[in-house]
Every structure is written in C-alpha cells, then in structure tokens.
Chains A and B, each alone.
Chain A
Amino acid sequence: MNDFLMKLWDSRFAVAAVILFAVGFVTLLLHRNLIKKIIGLNIMDTAAYLLLTSLGYIENRLSPILRGDDTDPAHYVNPLPAGLVLTGIVVSVSVTAVLLALTIRLYRRYHSLNVDEIYKMAQKEHGV
C-alpha cells in the first residue's frame, strides 16, 4: 500500500494531467453550452502542457540559462519541453480566439449558447 502511494506521489503530475485531460475532453465533447465547451478545450490543452512541463523539470537542476562559467549541460534542464509548451500555448490561444469569434457570431444570430437549440433553429431556418 505504502509502495503504491509512493509511486502515486512520484507520478502526481502525470496523474493530475490525465484527470484534467479527461475532464476537459468530456466537457468539450459532451457539454451543450458553447462557452463551457471552450473552457473544456482549454483545460484539456493545459493538462497536456502540465504533463510536458513536469516531464521537462528535473529537481536540483538549473533553468536553461547560462550562469557564469557553468557550461556543464548536466547542471541544467532541457529547454526543449518549455519551448514546446510555449508553441502549444500560442496554438491554443489562437484556436480559442477563433472558437470565441464563432460563438459570438452564433449568439448574435440565434440568441442562445446551447448547441442543440442552435442546431434546431438552424435546421428550421434552412428547412433541412
């Protein structure tokens, strides 16, 4: 039991990331409210970044900025995961912006944020 708890504690970031990812995924897929869907998307993306950031961090090592004469790479962490996270954040910000713009357009037209209601109204509008 103690062993299991220790293992769990060691991989606490991964566990948290998986839980958050699942929460975001389900919200994005199943929630009817568009704004909540977008929040779900952001939780999902953040979970992925949490995982990547935690993997890229090694205890007792320095951030990848050269300190004085210390040129031994073993003293620093790998800068790549942080770079990937930054790229990912840029991507998710722009996608969120597009989604919000679409939501605003839909809200102006149908005065609702519920996907099902909007779908029904759109069907009526086009007669399909």
Chain B
Amino acid sequence: MEFTVNLPLFAAALCLICSAVSAVLPEKAARRLCLALCGLVAIAFGLLLAYGLSSDAATTYRMGHYPHPWGNELFFGTLEPLLLCVFATVMLLCLLGGGSHLENDLEQGKRRYYYVMCELVLSSLIALCCTNDVFTGYVFIEISTVASCGLLMIRQLGRTTLASIRYLIFSLIGSGLFLLGLILLYAVTGHLLMPDLSRAIGTLWESGQYRSVLLTSICLVTVGLAVKGGLFPFHFWMPDTYGYATPASGGILSGLVSKGYIFFLLRVIFRVFGTEVFYKSGVSNVLFVLGAIGVIVGSVSAARETDVARMIAYSSASQIGYIFMGFGLSPQLGVLASVFHILTHAITKPPLFLSAAQIARIAGGRDRKLWLGAGHKNRLAGLTFTACALSMIGIPLTMGFVSKYRFGLAAFDNPKLIVPTLIVLAVSTILNTWYFMRVVIRLYTPASGPDGPRVRMREQRPFAVAAIAFLCMNIGFGVAAKPVVTLIEHGLILLKEAL
C-alpha cells in the first residue's frame, strides 16, 4: 500500500510522456493510448482514494527527498484523489462519446494532436490538484491554458480561431495577475511551498506588518484565478469558446479545465492564506457578490440564446457563479457545497454538450427551433439531454438537487447572506427551468410532416456507452450523496489541518 503515494507523480509524468509519444503515433493508436491513459489515471486515483481513506491522513510527497524549504512537494488527502478520479473518468467518457464528432470536426492527420492536448490537460489537472508549491501551480496553469487553447483551435473554423484568441487573452490576463500576486507574496515571505507560506502569512497578519502588500496579493491571486475560472464579469469568452469547439472539447473545457483553476484557488485559500485571513480580508464578500451576479447574468443570457450549444455555455457561466458564491458564503458549508457543485458540473455539463451535438446532427442545426420532435428521432440523446437538464435544474435523485440543497444549507452558515443567497437560488432555478424545459418540450413535441430517419443505439455505440455512464454517475452520486458529502467534508478538514 505504501507504493500508492507515488501514484500522483507517476500519473502526471505518464501523461506527459504519453503526450510526447502520441504526437508520433498513428491516429487510431493515439486515440487508444489516450483513452487507456484516462482509464489508468482514474484507477490510480481510485486506489489513492482508498489508501487515503484507510490511512485517514494526508500525504506530503517530497520529490527527490529534498527537505521542505528547498524541495518541491505534492500534497494529497482524500479530496484530491476523489476529484481527479472523477475528472479522468469524465475525460475518458468525453473522448469516447465525442469520438464521431472529432472525426467530422478535425482535419485528417491533425487528430492525433488533439490527444496530445488532452493528455497535457490531464497532467496539468493532476499537478494543479496535487501540488504543494505555488510556482509549480503557476507553470501548470500556463500549460493547461495553452493545451486547452489547442483543444479549441484544432477545429479550424474562423469562429473557433477567434474564440481561442479571446480565451487565450482572458486566460493570460488571469495568469498575469496571479503571477504578480505570487511575486508579492514571495517578496514578503520568501517561500513558495504552501505550508511555509501559510505560516509566514499567519505571522505577518498577526503582526500587522506588510498588511497592504498581503491584501494586494490576496486580491491579485484570487482575481487572477477567478478570471481564468470564468467568474462574472470575465465570462464573456465562454459562449464562443464552449459553443463552437468540438463537443468533446466543450465538455472538457467547461467541465474540467475551469474546475482545475477553481480547485487550485480553493487550495490556495485553505493552504496558503488560511481561511481566517482570507475571510477577514473581505475578498470573500467580493467573490460572493460577483458569484451571485454571475449566476443571474449567466442564466438570463442563457435564456436569451436560441443556439442550444451557446445556451449550455452560458449556463456554465451561471454554474461557475454558484461555485464562487459558495466560496464567498463560508469556509465550512459554503465551500463544501462548492466542491460538490464542482463534481456536479463536471458530471452534468459534458453529456449536455455531447447529447446536444448528437441531436443537432439529426435535427440539422443547433438552433432550438429546428429541434422540433428531435427527441423521438434520437431517443438516447434526447433522454440524456433531458436527464442532465433536470439535474441542472435540481430535481431530486440527481446531483443537481444535492448541490442546490447544500447551497441552501450553506446560506444559513452566514446569517448576513441568508436572504440574498436564497433569492439567487430561487431566481436561478426558475430561469434554469424556463430555458432548459423550453428545449426539452420542443424535443418531444411531435413534428408535423413525415418522420425522418431514426438514429438507433447500434449506430452510436460509443456515445451510448458514454451517455449511460454519465447518467449512472449522476444518479449514483445523487442518490448516495451522503457518503460523498462526508468524504468531501473530511477532505477539506485534511486540507486545512495538515499544514
């Protein structure tokens, strides 16, 4: 069992090696390698989760056995393996379900580079979730930015190229701010490892020395990562980015990449600034306000959109708003709800993109006006879309319900914010219901005129496997939410205590 602590480093290294190998492999082999890698990484982190649960302690992994002011470290408890296991599974299912679209959307001969980018994204997710060193975090933020830009621009439409340049510019603004914040922190503390930084910041905060520098750096780091995560008012790149990318990319970018940054921010809040300093600095209130506005603005924009893929993308902006709202609410229940919502969004949004693309193919377009009766033509895609839409709305038995319930509970953790939180939840649920149900009803309204051809299960086997797996995960996590919530709670305690 001791061996399992090496797995995160091996997994990240394996991803990097595979990405180099994939670039010279034939297309089919590259695809198989990437799928196998995602599966392996999911299994590895499943094992690590089991190890974390059995040992009931967090692990600090020294790379090269250099002691702590000098060496580079990884840190993982139970939360990181859980998230990474889900992330790797989601990536596997995205690639599986979006395979036929990849063949249509990407030029022959360039598809193998798609898998290179996926592997790079996976390695940077592992690094962002596990690193104990903020500068390593910065480097992998940039790797993830460039790789996700590659996932986007590999589909060679004018619109995707434009979207990727916008995405890249916003991302670079975010990482520039993050870097500046990091430099200021390094200047006043002289450390880059999270536990050392945390101790130094605690001492500085108590003595009141360098207060303005500390506050500035907290702001810069938080805002930088929030810009990259897509918090309001920096979400305008989202509809183009997610909407015009090939569906697998849309799923990976919205479900996983943005979550990597957000989880890194969570780790920085818990393990660098410390929740006490962070919540006293007032930045959390800004996060709450921007998150709440983001929820509403995202929902309203989604409701105004007729292109379903863009609608789903705007809905992502609103879900990201939820996550930041939870960060702003409280370090206990609020963050717990946010982490659960990270999982919910990662499991619900990719199948929405995949099934929307599948329906658009049979309906002849992504405009919802064309979708009349399309749910009968492709039953599985219709069912997947409906179930995920219900999960986004928050119907019981799905993950979305647990998320919203948890946000409702979290509101009571912060007496000043009960009313605004509940109002935001209610309004956004109504808007969610309106824009999703409008599409679902259209899907199942019988079209007048002759029935078109139907898509059967046999003709879309990979998509069927992915869709069913996504639905099972969604309902599984939704029904058995209690152990997951306990696990997250435990993981958050480990994150804070093991300093």
Tally of contact residues, B, Cβ under 8 A: 31
- B165 surroundings in chain A (CB, below 8 A): 34, 99, 102-103, 106, 115
Among the listed B145, B161, B172, B176, which residue makes an inter-chain contact with A109, where contact means beta carbons less than 8 Å apart?
B161
Contacts A91-B142, A98-B149, A106-B165 known; A122 to B176 CB distance under 8 Å?
Answer: no
- A94 surroundings in chain B (CB, below 8 A): 142, 146
Contacts A55-B187, A102-B153, A105-B161 known; A95 to B172 CB distance under 8 Å?
Answer: yes
Contacts A44-B176, A48-B183, A95-B168 known; A122 to B158 CB distance under 8 Å?
Answer: yes
Chain B 38-53 per-residue mask, 1 if CB under 8 angstroms from chain A, else 0:
0000000000000000
Whether B183 pairs with A55 at a CB distance below 8 angstroms is yes
Separation in Å of the A127 CB from the closest CB of chain B?
Answer: 10
- A98 surroundings in chain B (CB, below 8 A): 146, 149-150, 168
Separation in Å of the B426 CB from the closest CB of chain A?
Answer: 31
Q: List 15 A-B contacts (CB under 8 A).
A: A28-B176, A29-B173, A51-B187, A52-B186, A55-B186, A84-B135, A87-B135, A95-B142, A98-B149, A98-B168, A99-B169, A102-B161, A122-B162, A125-B159, A126-B157
Contacts A28-B173, A29-B173, A37-B169 known; A95 to B145 CB distance under 8 Å?
Answer: yes
Separation in Å of the A11 CB from the closest CB of chain B?
Answer: 11
Separation in Å of the A116 CB from the closest CB of chain B?
Answer: 11
Q: A81 to B186: give the CA distance in the assembly, Å.
A: 9
Question: Is the CB of B57 closer than 8 A to any CB of chain A?
Answer: no
Among the listed B145, B149, B158, B183, which residue makes an inter-chain contact with A52, where contact means beta carbons less than 8 Å apart?
B183
- B139 surroundings in chain A (CB, below 8 A): 87, 91
Whether A48 pairs with B180 at a CB distance below 8 angstroms is yes
Whether A106 pairs with B161 at a CB distance below 8 angstroms is yes
Question: Is the CB of A57 closer than 8 A to any CB of chain B?
Answer: no
Of all chain B residues, which has the CB nearest A34? B165
Q: Determine the main DSSP class of B at the interface with A.
A: helix
Interface range on chain A: under 10, 10 to 19, 20 to 34, or 35 or more?
35 or more
Question: Is the CB of A21 closer than 8 A to any CB of chain B?
Answer: yes
Question: Is the CB of B307 closer than 8 A to any CB of chain A?
Answer: yes
Question: Is the CB of B330 closer than 8 A to any CB of chain A?
Answer: no
Q: A80 to B191: give the CA distance in the assembly, Å.
A: 10
Whether B183 pairs with A109 at a CB distance below 8 angstroms is no
- B169 surroundings in chain A (CB, below 8 A): 28-29, 37, 41, 99
Of all chain A residues, which has the CB nearest B184? A51
Q: Name the interface residues of A34-79: CB closer than 8 Å to any CB of B.
A: 34, 37, 41, 44-45, 48, 51-52, 55
Of all chain A residues, which has the CB nearest B172? A41
Separation in Å of the B114 CB from the closest CB of chain A?
Answer: 16
Of all chain A residues, which has the CB nearest B143? A91
Of all chain A residues, which has the CB nearest B188? A55
Contacts A84-B135, A122-B159 known; A28 to B172 CB distance under 8 Å?
Answer: yes
- B432 surroundings in chain A (CB, below 8 A): none
Whether B173 pairs with A25 at a CB distance below 8 angstroms is yes
Among the listed A45, A103, A125, which residue makes an inter-chain contact with B158, where contact means beta carbons less than 8 Å apart?
A125
- B172 surroundings in chain A (CB, below 8 A): 28, 41, 95
Whether B159 pairs with A51 at a CB distance below 8 angstroms is no
Question: Is the CB of A9 closer than 8 A to any CB of chain B?
Answer: no
Among the listed A24, A88, A122, which residue makes an inter-chain contact with B179, where contact means beta carbons less than 8 Å apart?
A88
Of all chain B residues, which has the CB nearest A121? B158
- A121 surroundings in chain B (CB, below 8 A): 158
- B183 surroundings in chain A (CB, below 8 A): 48, 51-52, 55
Whether B162 pairs with A118 at a CB distance below 8 angstroms is yes
Question: Is the CB of B338 closer than 8 A to any CB of chain A?
Answer: no
Question: Is the CB of B164 closer than 8 A to any CB of chain A?
Answer: yes
- B176 surroundings in chain A (CB, below 8 A): 21, 24-25, 28, 41, 44-45, 48
